[in-house]
Amino acid sequence: MPDTTVPDTRAPADWGAAFAALPQEAPPADPWPRIAARLAARRSHRWPLGLAAAAVLVLAVVLPLRLAQHTSTSVPATVVAGTDVATLQRLQAESAQLEALLAWARDDSVASGNAVAVAAQLDARVAAIDAALAEPGLSPQRQRTLWEQRVGALRSLTAFEANRRWLVSQGERYDVALVRVD
């Protein structure tokens, strides 16, 4: 019986035979398991930071609002021409707090086009309310209504900016379909 472990040292007859005698090339190793492991490690380290950021954001929003509610209850309520002065002061204080929070939460360096458009619409809404508040001779009822609208608009804008900042911290971005349905 011939020894089969001895390699054949004869030269191939043609190029086809020479190429057929070459060993098969091994495909490159699949990089996905390494990438998936790195992504999983990155995600596992991120969520405590994200949770801490959310907790700080909640404290930054809730604590000033609670303090404003606490201080507004200590102000004596005086009724002047059908409106509550303490309520108006509370709305103005909340508006100032929301503006301060908005200045902190807004980061235009990481904005997508859609996010800028939505923020511009919300800013325009606040600007329109400010213009209405600047008109002379407003009735106390109208002032209160405008301040309530301003606080509502600032709440929406602050929530939008906080959500956008949260998405950026997660490596995502705020993309919405800008659609107007009449």
pLDDT digits (tens, 9 = 90+) for 87-128: 889 999 998 888 888 887 777 776 677 777 888 888 899 999
Lowest mean pLDDT of 32-36, 81-85, 178-182, name the range.
178-182
> Is residue 20 pLDDT above 60, yes or no?
yes
Return d(Cα 69, Cα 87) in angstroms, integer: 10
Return d(Cα 125, Cα 157) in angstroms, integer: 10
Q: Which of 70, 120, 64 is nearest to 95 (CA)?
A: 64
| Residue 128, pLDDT score | 92
The arithmetic mean of pLDDT across residues 1-17, rounded, is 74
The pLDDT tens digits for 29-74 are 888 888 888 887 766 555 566 667 777 777 677 766 666 555 444 4
Residue type at 152?
G
More confident residue, 65 or 151: 151
| Residue 4, pLDDT score | 62
Interacting residues of 95 by C-beta distance below 8 A, sequence separation 6+: 147, 150, 151, 154
Return d(Cα 31, Cα 75) in angstroms, integer: 66
pLDDT, averaged across the chain: 76
Residue 28 — very low, low, confident or very high, per pLDDT cuts 50/70/90? confident
| Residue 151, pLDDT score | 92
The pLDDT tens digits for 130-148 are 899 888 888 888 999 999 9
In the numeric block, the tokens 């509370």 are attached to 90
Q: Phi then psi for 181, rounded to 5 degrees?
A: -110, 120
| Residue 175, pLDDT score | 59
Return d(Cα 21, Cα 129) in angstroms, integer: 83
The domain ranges of the chain are 43-169
Q: pTM of the predicted model, to two decimals?
A: 0.50
